[in-house]
Amino acid sequence: MTVTRDPFKVSVPAASKAPALVVALSLATGMLVGFAFNTLVSLAVFTVIGIVAIIARAKGLVLLAITAVIGVIDVAIQQAQLPNNLKYETEQQYSGAVVGVNEKDDAIGLIVELDSIDGIPVKRTKIAVTLMHDSVFSSQPSAGYEISFKGTASRPGATLLLPDERDFDRENRRRGIVVSVLSSDSRTTNKGSAPGIMNCFRRWRDDVVDAIRYADFSTATTAFVVACMAGDDTLIAPTDRDKIATAGLAHLLALSGTHVAILTLLIGFILLPVRLLGKRHLTSWLTIGFLWLFAFVTGLSPSVVRAVTMASVLLTARIIERSVSPFQSLSVAAILILIFNPYALFAIGFQISFAAVWGIISVGQLLQRSGYPKYPFYLRLPLGFLLMTIAATIATAPLVAYYFHLFPIWFIPANMIATIVLPLILASAIPCIVFTAVTSNRLFPEVTDFLYGIIESVSQHIAAANIASIDMIYPPVWAVVAFYTVMVSGTVWTAISIRRQLPIAVSTLLSAFCLTVCFMHRPSTPASEWHLHGVFTGTAILVTENNTAWLVTDCQTKIEENMLAQRLTPRLRNFLGRRKIDSLQIMPQRYTSPLIDRRNGWINIGGTSFVFINNEQMHPAEKAHVDYLLITKGVRNDADSIVAAFNPAKVVLTASLNAKISRRLQLDLQQNGIKSISLRDTIVHSSNAPFESSSR
């Protein structure tokens, strides 16, 4: 992309001069097929396509087939595999390098690059580790350091409780993380600095975060500056995050092209003396070096690598005095990222970043063919910014709706203010951080606090508006995929077509149709339903009644009930959102409605009866038909006495029950001809599925 004095004016070579675009699309296709199907089957399919292309003498198709094969092979080489000596539900000794840390209320979440299990070396594999706060730390785990701990691996899918629930195991697999490990009440040892250049960069990032904290900004400003300069948004308070997202400014919390562009301007200002000495090429090379250093220190996130790669291609083109297509530089960035990390295809940052830039470039090309270049500069600048903001927002709208289930209404004024304020925040924060790190003295952190206060105020006012965003959007996957297929195909068709009116019109209509489906689609859900699930901290019945979600648990105290509800709420966000339910509520011990009748441990839901029993309650309060008898922690009686007391149609052995007792009771119940199910082995059981089908 060749930039002239007008920042929105780009040179647009013909599509034939941007072969990297076709290569990138073919490579991504091969990788998607490689992830979805067996490697040999995928290779066979693309090999057949290549042979047919050779026979038909279609050289372009041959190139696409070869590139797709490379994508399949790359996935096969880099796809994460489970270590051979990994044992599920058995405590083992793990050792590896910490590559990511996320502080939670009741635990610390780590991403660990495993190097040994029980002292036996294994191939380096990423695992997700949850360290409970009651664990004993020799020192606080930090990225770039080696750690040794005891933990128990859970089976993939074992934590999936409800339909529409957020599947953390699936998200982990799409990041190359093969298994989740829980560590509690065990001694965790920090073994010192981990070897490798990437671990060195991770430790540097911690040093940057520490320097930002020492600069004496306010808590909110510190969290924001850490997100913008170190790529760590875990310090942002959930309420602040929600307000910023509602205002359409969520991209400020994730490092992207906006931050790289601002950093490039700041680097250019710092290197201005070198440029004035006539060393323009040296200035460009130094800028490229600083940008890549920034990318490595911030963790090589796909959005940053994309922006830095495009900036590097642009600066290199300036050095060699060559023009470059914007799609060419975007495609080179995609190829570079995917070759080294095929899992980036599933990263939200990768998808949203490339979609936004694709939309901006497409609109930029249309503007160049219109009368836009003839406008005066003072009109082109605001008009160009407005159109680019709208283009990026529309291009990313299906992805934002799919992942975050909302669409901000006031994104245009919010982004116009943020575009002015964000560079000032970083320009004031960097000298303050450097001065504090060198002299241990403060350098007017109030200036940065004031500037961030503007972002905070804008977000707060927009979030408080009557119509701040369109919420609870749940688009179907096919509509999202169709939208981007049309967008990419329409751009390519427009570039190679002699008469561009037809492809532009067709692409616009089809994109509008897919976008309408994304926003208007409403998933069908029952008016009322119940779901039974359990975790080791407690068992619960989740009941939806009109616009209310009730939670009935076997917890002994209110504190335990509230803790269980807090843990379940983030996991059930999609479940509740699809049903337009705002929050999860604990059902009172006595509650009556047209659907529900509860009296302590007895619950009747739409004609289906449940009873919770423990060691303190072994006799029914009244003679009644029991559909589901839930045996919870503390029960030590045999199956015969339980069946004689309650005569249940079905017995549910909860996850909190002792494992040996659970197995013994299950065998005894089978001998008595009573249907039973263990929540230790069950993903979900609900009113919409037969009892027998819920067990594996």
pLDDT in tens, 292-318: 988 888 888 888 888 888 888 888 888
* Token pair listed for 469: 């965003």
CA distance 534 to 552: 11
Q: What is the residue-averaged pLDDT of the chain?
A: 79
Query: Cβ(402)–Cβ(346) under 8 Å?
Result: no
Q: What is the mean pLDDT of residues 577-590?
A: 82
Task: Please count the helices (runs of H) and the strands (runs of E) in the chain.
Answer: 22, 21
**pLDDT for res 16:** 42
Whether residue 160 is predicted with pLDDT greater than 70 in this model: the reply is: no
**pLDDT for res 69:** 92
**pLDDT for res 3:** 41
Q: What is the mean pLDDT of residues 616-622?
A: 49
Residues 6 or more apart whose Cβ sits within 8 Å of residue 512? none
Find, among 506, 604, 600, 520, the residue nearest to 553 by Cα. 600
Rg (the chain; Cα; Å): 29
> Which is more confident, 117 or 618?
117
- C-alpha dihedral sign at 280, 283, 288, 291: negative
Strand 650-653 to strand 675-678: parallel, antiparallel, or no bridges (unpaired)? parallel
Q: Which of 369-378, 467-476, 603-612 has the lowest mean pLDDT?
A: 369-378
Quickly state the pLDDT bin for 604 (edges 50, 70, 90). Answer: confident
Q: What angle do CA 646, 648, 654 make, to 5 degrees?
A: 95
Quickly state the pLDDT bin for 688 (edges 50, 70, 90). Answer: very low
What pTM does this model have? 0.78
* Token pair listed for 138: 């020799």
Query: Cβ(198)–Cβ(147) under 8 Å?
Result: no
Residues 6 or more apart whose Cβ sits within 8 Å of residue 176? 78, 80, 126, 341, 343
Find, among 332, 251, 330, 260, the residue nearest to 291 by Cα. 260
Find, among 206, 259, 192, the residue nearest to 234 by Cα. 206
**pLDDT for res 483:** 92
Whether residue 673 is predicted with pLDDT greater than 50 in this model: the reply is: yes
**pLDDT for res 166:** 63
pLDDT 10s digits, 194-215? 888 888 888 888 888 888 888 8
Whether residue 4 is predicted with pLDDT greater than 70 in this model: the reply is: no
Helix (H, G, I), strand (E, B) or coil at 550: strand
Helix (H, G, I), strand (E, B) or coil at 194: coil
DSSP state letter for 582: -
Whether residue 14 is predicted with pLDDT greater than 50 in this model: the reply is: no
CA distance 398 to 106: 34
> Residue-wise over 56-85: b if at least 16 C-beta within 10 A, else e?
eeeeebbbbbbbbbbbbbbbbeeebeebee
Find, among 130, 121, 120, 115, the residue nearest to 169 by Cα. 130
Q: Which of 429-433, 518-522, 561-565 has the lowest mean pLDDT?
A: 561-565
CB count in 10 Å sphere of residue 670: 12
- Alpha carbon of 618 to those of 372, 540, 557, 661: distances in Å? 80, 19, 19, 16
Query: Cβ(112)–Cβ(127) under 8 Å?
Result: yes
Task: Compute the 3-state secondary structure of the chain and give helix, strand, coil in percent, each to the nearest 5.
Answer: 55, 20, 30
**pLDDT for res 691:** 33
**pLDDT for res 603:** 84
Residues 6 or more apart whose Cβ sits within 8 Å of residue 492? 15, 21
**pLDDT for res 130:** 81
Quickly state the pLDDT bin for 13 (edges 50, 70, 90). Answer: very low
Angle between the N-to-C axes of helices 501-520 and 477-496, in degrees from 0 to 180, rounded to the nearest 10:
170
Strand 590-592 to strand 596-599: parallel, antiparallel, or no bridges (unpaired)? antiparallel
**pLDDT for res 53:** 85
**pLDDT for res 10:** 37
Q: Which of 75-84, 123-132, 376-385, 543-552 has the lowest mean pLDDT?
A: 376-385
- Alpha carbon of 691 to those of 322, 397, 597, 649, 686: distances in Å? 68, 40, 22, 11, 8
**pLDDT for res 185:** 55
**pLDDT for res 502:** 81
Q: What is the mean pLDDT of residues 594-603?
A: 82
User: What percentage of the chain has pLDDT greater than the value 70?
Assistant: 85
> Which is more confident, 355 or 371?
355
Residue 289 C-alpha from the chain's centroid: 29
Query: Cβ(18)–Cβ(325) under 8 Å?
Result: yes
CA distance 128 to 146: 15
| DSSP assignment of 343-359 | GGGG-HHHHHHHHHHHH
- Give the largest CA-CA distance in the chain: 95
CB count in 10 Å sphere of residue 538: 23
Dihedral through CA 62, CA 63, CA 69, CA 75, nearest 10? -160
**pLDDT for res 5:** 41
- C-alpha dihedral sign at 540, 173, 83, 302: negative
**pLDDT for res 624:** 57
Q: Which of 339-348, 362-371, 381-390 has the lowest mean pLDDT?
A: 362-371
**pLDDT for res 372:** 65
* Token pair listed for 572: 């059930």
CA distance 453 to 469: 22
Q: H or E element: which one contains 193?
A: strand 187-193
**pLDDT for res 7:** 39
**pLDDT for res 134:** 55
CA distance 273 to 560: 63
**pLDDT for res 70:** 92
Helix (H, G, I), strand (E, B) or coil at 620: coil
Q: What is the mean pLDDT of residues 252-256?
A: 78
> Which is more confident, 614 or 483?
483
Residue 614 C-alpha from the chain's centroid: 40
Q: Which of 142-146, 432-436, 524-528, 633-637 has the lowest mean pLDDT?
A: 633-637
Q: What is the mean pLDDT of residues 94-120?
A: 83
Helix (H, G, I), strand (E, B) or coil at 48: helix
User: What ranges in 231-347 are assigned the alpha helix state H?
Assistant: 238-246, 257-270, 272-276, 280-297, 302-320, 326-340
* Token pair listed for 152: 């128990």
Quickly state the pLDDT bin for 695 (edges 50, 70, 90). Answer: very low
Q: What is the mean pLDDT of residues 563-581?
A: 77
Q: What is the mean pLDDT of residues 263-275?
A: 83
pLDDT 10s digits, 323-354? 777 888 888 888 988 998 898 888 888 888 88
* Token pair listed for 687: 């009113």
* Token pair listed for 13: 């070579």
Specify the amino acid at residue 365: Q
CA distance 301 to 649: 53
> Which is more confident, 169 or 485?
485
